[in-house]
Amino acid sequence: MCGGVQYQDHTIYFPQPDAKLPIRLRGGGVTWVTWGRRKKEAIGKFPNGGWAQLNSIKMGKWKPWHPKPVLIPIESFLEKDHDKQSHWITLSSCMTLQGLLAERNGEQRVYIVTEETPPEYQWIHDRWPRLIKLAD
């Protein structure tokens, strides 16, 4: 379920308490937003975890957090298989991850949107980050 990402010289893992993901701005720049919510955090305004299933977004489960689609520009992401072995998946330069920007009371968090895994990677995990092809 994408437990880590590589962006330029940054390797970010979800379990890190201060993990932030890069979000592409309309002008081409990047801003950093806290990645989801960890179970160890105090009771908060956001759902636990760092992922949002595409079907739950479509069903409206994220509406209380005013979801906005965002792009997470990374070079690669980490998936662990059923044996806990790590696999870094490198993206082509025209691909990026889809994220969901959640907001509540002026605070924001970003979640990686997930969907069913492509057949060639189903041996690794049953959920996969949603990949978006960038416009030329």
3-46 per-position pLDDT tens digit = 899 999 999 999 998 899 999 998 889 999 999 998 887 667 89
Asked if the model's pLDDT at residue 65 lies above 70, the reply is yes
At residue 37, the pLDDT reads 94
Q: Which domain holds residue 58?
A: 1-33+49-66
pLDDT band at 57 (very low <50, low <70, confident <90, very high): very high
Name the more confident of 39 and 92. 92
How far does Cα 22 stand from its chain's mean position?
10
Percentage of the chain modeled with pLDDT above 70: 97
Residue 55 lies in a domain: yes
Domain count, the chain: 1
Alpha-carbon dihedral 7, 13, 17, 22, rounded to 10 degrees: 20
Residue 44 lies in a domain: no
SS3 123: coil
Q: Is 128 part of a structural domain of the chain? A: no
Report residue 50's pLDDT band, with 50, 70 and 90 as the boundaries. very high
